Amino acid sequence: MATNAPDRARVRLENISSRAYEHPADRGALVALRSLRGFDEVFKRLSGLFNERALRLMFLSSAVRVNEQQFPEVHNYVRDAAYILDLDDVPELYIQMNPRPNAMAIGSSKPFMVMTTGLFDLLDPEEQRFVVGHEVGHILSGHAVYRTMLLALIRLAARVAWIPLGYIGIRAIVTALEEWYRKSELSCDRAGLLAAQDPDAAKRALMKLAGGSRLAEMNPDSFMEQARDYESGGDARDSLIKLLSLMGQTHPFAVIRMAELSRWIDDGSYQRILDGDYPRRDTDRDASVGAEARNAADSYRQAWERSEDPLMGTLRDVAGSAANTGGRIFDSVAERWKGAGRRDNDNNNGGSAS
């Protein structure tokens, strides 16, 4: 088992933009949404349908709030993750009695985190650092706002299931949001690694999510071989089974998460960020929606090129031809929204009338 990374080895990533670690498909969606003037505010207002105050009170009354006196070591991990990822406010973390291993970031106006005892007991300290950093990454990316909308839509879909057309429309939106949700998990595995700065601990945590606490019985190379076997595909029946197995899934399978994180490390992206080569938060407004749309399409195309899956081979060329067209459309829409925002600002600031 690898030794833990010493505290002094951890690098603070000042003013880091969440774009630095976000998966291209996640980043493309977020940049597009952020470029639409007022869209975030609409989402936040709609997410108010979920009573954030009630959720916080529920955990305040039924779980343990982490601080200097309660789970003090984990409290240090939260403070460290917020410091390393340069988060302005240190989020609250609650430990909840629940044997199912899970962690989540909740809320929009003041997001907080929850970790179950099942996950806490499963992980060693450095693996806990990785999970805490993962959840802090969700908060820095603003995922909690959009995830709340997904939960609202899932509940709405259940209520209107008896209306065929209404259910089909909502289900299509939910399916797209679930795909984004899965990519956001890949993003925050990277954020967790940046916070912990211990690749071995990150990989151990993902292996434990698949096989439990008996780490001595598992092997990272064999686990990666599983991922290659899964990605290599099979016949058309396997393709269909894979697609159906993703329905209702908000998290990628553990072997896929391990493979994606390993690729991100191996291609040098992780080390470049530690070396200071990453986008800063104050440049987020300049991000090109079209470029991010093309990056997202390219990421899917690269994933499909790694696969021998026959269905993926068909989709590969479709994505390639759609990427540039979609990018140009996104660019045009974004410029119109931004132009409207500039005109509104000029009018509000007493600009001259035409």
pLDDT of residue 330: 42
- Give the residue among 4, 328, 54, 351 at the shortest CA–CA distance from 196: 4
**Burial environment of residue 337 by CB neighbours within 10 A (0 to 12, 13 to 18, 19 or more):** middle
Q: What is the pTM of this model?
A: 0.76
pLDDT of residue 328: 44
Domain range enclosing 155: 16-287
The predicted-structure confidence for 268-280, as pLDDT tens digits, reads as follows 999 999 999 999 9
- Give the residue among 244, 140, 221 at the shortest CA–CA distance from 188: 140
Mean pLDDT on 331-340: 48
pLDDT band at 122 (very low <50, low <70, confident <90, very high): very high
Coil, helix or strand for 112?
Answer: strand
pLDDT band at 108 (very low <50, low <70, confident <90, very high): confident
pLDDT of residue 34 exceeding 60? no
What's CA 320's distance to the chain center, in Å? 24
Evaluate whether residue 98 is within a structural domain: yes
CA pair distance 137, 184, nearest whole angstrom: 10
Evaluate whether residue 73 is within a structural domain: yes
Evaluate whether residue 185 is within a structural domain: yes
pLDDT band at 333 (very low <50, low <70, confident <90, very high): very low
Evaluate whether residue 295 is within a structural domain: no
CA pair distance 96, 114, nearest whole angstrom: 7
The predicted-structure confidence for 227-261, as pLDDT tens digits, reads as follows 888 877 666 566 666 666 666 676 788 998 999 99
Contact yes or no for 127/205 (Cβ under 8 A): yes
Strand partners, 114: 94, 104
The predicted-structure confidence for 286-311, as pLDDT tens digits, reads as follows 776 666 556 655 655 655 555 555 55
Contact yes or no for 330/287 (Cβ under 8 A): no
**Number of structural domains found in the chain:** 1
pLDDT band at 179 (very low <50, low <70, confident <90, very high): confident
Mean pLDDT on 37-65: 72
The predicted-structure confidence for 126-175, as pLDDT tens digits, reads as follows 999 999 999 999 999 888 766 666 666 666 655 655 555 555 556 566 66
Evaluate whether residue 310 is within a structural domain: no
